[in-house]
Amino acid sequence: MTLTTPSGRPEFDGFSAFYETEIAPYLRAREGERRKAVRIFAAIVAATGALSGAIFALGPFGEGNFQLAFFALMLGAAGAVWLLNRARSDIGHGLLERICGRLGFTYLLKLSRPDYYERFKSLGLLPTHNREAWEDEVRGAHGGANFVLCEANLKYKSSGKNSSTRTVFHGQLFVIDYPKPFMGETVLKRDIGVFNALAKPGSHFQKVGLVSSEFEKAFEAWSTDQVEARDLLDPIVLERFLELERLFGGKKLRAAFTGGKLLVAIETGDRLNMGSMFKPLESAERVETILKEFDVVFDLIDVLLKRVDKRLDGAFSVDQIR
């Protein structure tokens, strides 16, 4: 199957041949592991389902049969999913290592709390949490700008007798070198109505008026330098933030210009992955999907590095940027 790259960027030159010589053989070699993992998954689900049905129909606990059967079903399903995802993660790790290596990037499947975490947290770009997991970190450069992207899965576990755990953020963090220096700090978040006052990043920040009513309805912004903020948050950059949400299928975008960097956090769920385990591994579509993710990051960097002379509808590319 021939691989089609998402754009004509030089980073993607020769990628079709690389897929045929390096990636496709790797996926073929791991196909047996995928099939085994799927068989085990199906067997566990079937066995758990049968056990749960037997407990419900024949169990000696009366009205408690349903609760016990449901608990057994959920426990078995969770175990089956965990085993399948472990195999998926292992295979996907090798795939992403090869793709990132070809692009000249470094890739980490799992990592501890990253060094840029405190910047996001101190500016209120991440919610309160007490459980965290970090994976799929990519470090590289595009157009002369260094960047880092990483997936964060943050949860909050309440205390007390009826404690529960809920996900408060699952998505992508981006750290991108900004092409021009700035003295202050500017934070942008999605408008949340009457709760905007609670989202203010600090007492030394002041609200920034945006350029149009459309953006005022979409975003709330604060800065320590009003003049600088209006330059940073020009209409093109604000449009690209909205477009970034659409292209990544995300929501609740928040961003900050600080210390010569652009920080972006967006709730996307798990994005940088190889796709379903219930289909054969050898598929150019798997790789094309991952390359599209990188293409969106490149687009965002291009808009920051250069200016455009008109509104851009839909996805954009470097060819549209002066």
Mean pLDDT by 10 residues, the chain (322 residues): 85 92 93 93 90 80 79 87 89 92 92 93 92 94 91 90 88 88 87 68 84 79 89 82 75 88 88 83 89 85 64 43 35
Q: Which residues contact 137 (CB under 8 A, 6 or more apart)?
A: 107, 108, 111, 114, 148, 149, 150, 151
Contacts of 215 (CB under 8 A, 6+ apart): 235, 238
User: Which residues partner with 137 through β-bridges?
Assistant: 108
- Quote the pLDDT of residue 194: 58
Q: Rounded to whole angstroms, how far apart are CA atoms 318 and 322?
A: 8
Concatenating the DSSP letter of every residue in 89-135 gives HHHHHHHHHHHHHHHT-EEEEEESS-TTHHHHHHTT-S---SEEEEE
- Rounded to the nearest 10 degrees, how much is the dihedral formed by the CA atoms of 12, 283, 39, 87? 0
Sequence spans of domains, the chain:
10-320
Distance from the Cα of residue 12 to its chain's centroid: 21
- Amino acid 321: pLDDT: 37
| pLDDT score recorded for residue 253 | 86
- pLDDT computed for residue 311 by the predictor: 45
Q: Is this prediction's pTM over 0.85?
A: no
What pLDDT is attached to residue 223?
92
pLDDT number for residue 270: 80
Residue spans of beta strands (DSSP E) within the chain: 106-111, 131-142, 145-157, 165-177, 186-190, 206-208, 219-223, 251-258, 261-267
